[in-house]
Amino acid sequence: KAGVTQTPRYLIKTRGQQVTLSCSPISGHRSVSWYQQTPGQGLQFLFEYFSETQRNKGNFPGRFSGRQFSNSRSEMNVSTLELGDSALYLCASSLARQATAYGYTFGSGTRLTVV
C-alpha cells in the first residue's frame, strides 16, 4: 500500500512569500503530524491533527498554520517566509488514535529553501 506522500519534494521561495505543503497519509490513517527539521534545531514538532481537529501545536509563530481535511489529507502553510524557515518539513501519519503510543510512518519530506 502507498506510504505517506508529501508534495512537492523541493520548493524554492523568496522571503516574504507564502507556501503551502501537502501531505497524504497512508489510507485509513487519521492522525497526521508535522515536524520541521533543521541542522541547528533538529526535529521540532509543529502540529498534530486527528479527524480534522488540531490536538496539539508546537512552539512556532502564528505564521505557521495547518489543517486537515475530511479525507485525512493535511496541509501546512507558512506565510511571510523568512530565511530561517528553510528546512525539511516532514509529515507523519498513524493509524492509532494515540499515535505517539505506537509510532509514526513518515513521508520523505518537502525540502523548502527560502532565498
Partner 1 sequence: SQQGEEDPQALSIQEGENATMNCSYKTSINNLQWYRQNSGRGLVHLILIRSNEREKHSGRLRVTLDTSKKSSSLLITASRAADTASYFCATEIIQGAQKLVFGQGTRLTINP
List residues near partner 1 by CB under 8 A.
4, 31, 33, 35, 42-43, 45, 48, 50, 55-56, 58, 88, 90, 92, 98-109, 111
Q: What is the DSSP letter of 58?
A: -
Report yes or no: 107 and 91 within 8 Å, Cβ to Cβ.
Answer: yes
At its nearest, how many Å lie between partner 1 and the CB of residue 74?
13
Report yes or no: 91 and 32 within 8 Å, Cβ to Cβ.
Answer: yes
**Residues 25-39: b if buried by 16+ CB within 10 A, e if exposed:** bbeebbbbbbbbeee
At its nearest, how many Å lie between partner 1 and the CB of residue 67?
16
**What single-letter amino acid sits at 32?**
V
CA-CA distance, 73 to 66, in Å (whole number)?
Answer: 11
The residue among 9 and 63 lying less far from partner 1, judged by its C-beta, is: 9
At its nearest, how many Å lie between partner 1 and the CB of residue 13?
19
The residue among 57 and 73 lying less far from partner 1, judged by its C-beta, is: 57
The residue among 27 and 100 lying less far from partner 1, judged by its C-beta, is: 100
At its nearest, how many Å lie between partner 1 and the CB of residue 2?
13
